[in-house]
Amino acid sequence: MKKTIKNIALLICISIFYSSCDSIDFGDINDNPNGPTIAVTSQLLTSAQTSVGNDVVTSMRGILYTQQLSEGQYPGDSRYESLTSNYNFWYTGPIQNLNEIIKINTDEDLKDAAVAFGGNNNQIAVAKILRSYYLQFMTDRWGALPWTEAFQGITFPQPKFDSQEDLYTYMFAEIEEALGLINLEAGPAGDIILNGDMDRWKMFANTLKMTMALRISDANATLAKTKFEQAIAAGVITSNADNILFNFGTDDNSDNPWEDRFESRVDYLLSKTLAESLRSNLDPRLFKFVEPSRDGSTTATNFPGGIDAKYVGADHGAANGNVQDFSLPTTTVTGVQNYKSPIYTSAQVKFAMAEAKLKGWNVGSSTTASLFKQGIEDSMSFWGVSQADIDAYTATHTISTLEKIAYEKWVALYLNGPEAWAEWRRLDMPVLIPSTSAIDQRIPVRDAYDTSVADNNPVNYAAVLVSQGPDDLHTKLWWDKK
């Protein structure tokens, strides 16, 4: 009987407890009154821009494919061993952040609050310019990509692939729209590249447009000419003072990837291809690009007094185990946490204009020869070459044929892997000998899609194989006609 009474009492207590819980109103006790009600666009922009420095301008594959550097005892990309690559990061990371900036600044209920982080239109413009910059980087790696049906969740869980030609058309339109939006309002907060300077963002957009135009010049010469001339007239980089650089920070979360790469090990060495090219041309950039070898030397010197003896290149694709036998990238790059890594430079622009002049495009009154010389001068000056050495070099390198322009551009794009690889594929110059250590002795001309694409989007993957060609490293992209 006592046991029964205890059980009844326990049930009554439990019932009272639950009924009490149901009737209690905790109000806003769990709400943070200081927390943001929408995403902070300045933080989204900073996060999106970080990938420019960490994942684009310092990416290694193009640097190794174009034989600017070689690998040490663990060669991989030098032997073209990366058969597939995944683009998901770009969709879920930086581009999604840029999409959100555009969404917030166009939403009638949200855009007024977003003004705290810069004018609405200027935020949209910067997001669109950066989005096109990333898309060009991506399409120049893979070719066709999901785009017009991407970012739409369950509406298009298996989006179609847009052709590279269509993607370039989209990017040109995106840049034009962005340029039309830029106004005198405040630039975006959180801008770690150009600090909200909208005049500089105009220059960025026009330089991107110019680069894209030249990239497609063998595929659609008419469109390329029109867009190139528009960009030049609107204002591109004209001197090293205009160079667009990525500003790394001084803490471990934001510092220069090159400094991290050489902090505790040595994996990257001067390539023999670049070393001997610079040596044979008596190019003083040899002494600026790299450090002298600690242990090695070469008997095949070319500079007066053999001052280049300690500047030694490594065989491309070989397992170069004794890394201190070779020259390593200069410590002005690898030893500085907040190094400013080039995105676009005056030298790159001058060589593009020199090539355009050869094509008969309107780039102003400058001649091909003068633009060619200016490109060399700007490249050497950027790397700290003395004026006397610059003058000596340009006095003996005056032939401005397409072959010579392509060579000098390859040198000027040192450590800018994506641009160096793209321009080498477009021009097929300078002539590079594939690694003899590779199983397939052909330098890749694209990245293949990750295997998950065929698994998760089989119908559209099959369609892109029909339209673009085999999904391997050797199917040329739409603009790669040579």
Q: What topology is assigned to 41-233+440-468 in CATH?
A: 1.25.40
pLDDT digit string (tens) for 170-180? Answer: 999 999 999 99
List, in order, residues 6 or more apart from 421 with CB less than 8 Å away: 61, 62, 65, 66
Cis status of the peptide bond prior to 430, with omega within 30 of 0: yes
Taking the alpha carbons at both ends of the chain, their separation in whole angstroms is: 98
422/168 Cα distance (integer angstroms)? 15
pLDDT digit string (tens) for 386-445? Answer: 999 999 999 999 999 999 999 999 999 999 999 999 999 999 999 999 999 999 999 999
134/94 Cα distance (integer angstroms)? 9
Position with higher pLDDT, 83 vs 31: 83
pLDDT band at 9 (very low <50, low <70, confident <90, very high): very low
**Pick from 70, 67, 137: which is nearest to 410 by CA?**
67
pLDDT digit string (tens) for 13-64? Answer: 434 333 344 444 545 544 555 555 568 999 999 999 999 999 999 999 999 9
Q: Is 147 exposed, middle or buried (0-12, 13-18, 19+ CB in 10 A)?
A: buried
**Taking a C-beta distance cutoff of 8 angstroms, is the pair 316, 273 a contact?**
yes
pLDDT digit string (tens) for 124-134? Answer: 999 999 999 99
**Pick from 217, 253, 232, 214: which is nearest to 366 by CA?**
232
Domain positions in the chain are: 41-233+440-468, 258-334
**Pick from 422, 430, 432, 379: which is nearest to 405 by CA?**
430
**Taking a C-beta distance cutoff of 8 angstroms, is the pair 74, 433 a contact?**
no
Mean pLDDT, all residues of the chain:
93
